[in-house]
Amino acid sequence: MRLATWNVNGLRARIDYIDHWIKHRQPDVVGLQELKTPDDVFPHEHFRDLGYQALVHGQKSWNGVAILAKHPMTLKQQGLPEQDDFGARLITAEITTPKGTAFDFTTVYCPNGKTLEHADFTRKLDWYKSLHTYWQQHAVAKHLICGDFNIVPEAIDGWRGEKGEGSIFYTQEERQHLQAFVDLGLTDLFRHYYPDSQEFSWWDYRGGAFHRKHGLRIDFLLATAPLVDATSEVIIDRDYRRKIDDLTASDHAPVYADLDI
DNA sequence: ATGCCTCCCCTTGGGAGA
């Protein structure tokens, strides 16, 4: 079972690029973020032709999340309670694998926060509080939450290293909210399997950041213990941050894990 | 310090992204 997360930076602008990745990697379930697409024009038939059912929580211009699945899937939640006015940023489904294992899959597009001084930074922290509450109220043994968290967990996860400490994405306040999920029993799959590796999942479009290795690891797969135990591999798919022919990549790479469930 | 690039919008420049 290959479970993936990907901030695609515009679903409609990325659709041909996404096809390449899906055909080469053959994921079973994909959490997508930053669709920038209203629900009424989501290309359901396009993904159906590739073998996927889609559940969508979109909006015009900004934000938007979706889950693609090759296996039976039912919607459990659209939108983070108490945070509707901060955009379409959360969707949860229950998925049943061919082996008959049921698990919950949540994907999130966490707020950016803009700057430490901006009102959106406080709202970002509040949004995390609501996510924490949501998580506690939807506790199931097998649950994976993935997405763009817009937090650099440790100095190793940002190209600026220790020099970044204290600036937005690297603050203790933001990291405490990530730690709260660890305290609730979730594990960052990539860091669990690669304790010392510096790999990034996002690179700015500007200034040749990808080639200069100026990136951040902000896209995670967080899993409960039974799913951690079932995981055999975790990949940050940086090849898919590169241009394919004339197709522009997202500024985020896909991240996926293979699980025996 | 700012822009770099790319997306979106009842577009043609401006806001947002991280």
Neighbours of A248 (CB within 10 A): 15
Cβ-contact A88, A63 below 8 angstroms: yes
pLDDT for A129 equals: 97
Asked whether residue A212's C-beta has any atom of DNA/RNA strand B within 7 A, the reply is no
A144 - beta bridge partners? A105, A223
Find the residue closest to B7 using CA and C1' atoms.
A10
Cβ-contact A104, A138 below 8 angstroms: yes
Query: What is this structure's pTM?
Result: 0.98
Nucleotide nearest to A9 (CA to C1'): B7
**Chain B footprint bases within 7 A of protein beta carbons:** 3-10, 16-18
Mean pLDDT over A80-93 rounds to 96
What's the pLDDT tens digit per position in A221-248? Answer: 999 999 999 999 999 999 999 999 999 9
Asked whether residue A156's C-beta has any atom of DNA/RNA strand B within 7 A, the reply is no
C-alpha A30/C-alpha A17 separation (Å) is 15
pLDDT for A149 equals: 98
A148 in catalytic set: yes
Give the three-class secondary structure for A169.
coil
Asked whether residue A115's C-beta has any atom of DNA/RNA strand B within 7 A, the reply is yes
Find the residue closest to B9 using CA and C1' atoms.
A61
Cβ-contact A231, A198 below 8 angstroms: no
What's the pLDDT tens digit per position in A23-71? Answer: 999 999 999 999 999 999 999 999 999 999 999 999 999 999 999 999 9
What's the pLDDT tens digit per position in A103-143? Answer: 999 999 999 999 999 999 999 999 999 999 999 999 999 99
pLDDT for A124 equals: 96
Asked whether residue A206's C-beta has any atom of DNA/RNA strand B within 7 A, the reply is yes
Confidence of residue A87 (pLDDT cuts 50, 70, 90): very high
In which order are the strands placed within the sheet that holds A143-148?
Answer: A73-78, A90-96, A102-109, A143-148, A219-223, A187-188
Asked whether residue A209's C-beta has any atom of DNA/RNA strand B within 7 A, the reply is no
Which residues 56-95 of chain A have a CB under 7 Å from nucleic chain B? 60-62
The one-letter amino acid code at A256 reads Y
**For residue A254, what is the DSSP state?**
-
Mean pLDDT over A202-209 rounds to 96
pLDDT for A114 equals: 93
Mean pLDDT over A8-36 rounds to 98
Neighbours of A76 (CB within 10 A): 15
What's the pLDDT tens digit per position in A145-174? Answer: 999 999 999 999 999 999 999 999 999 999
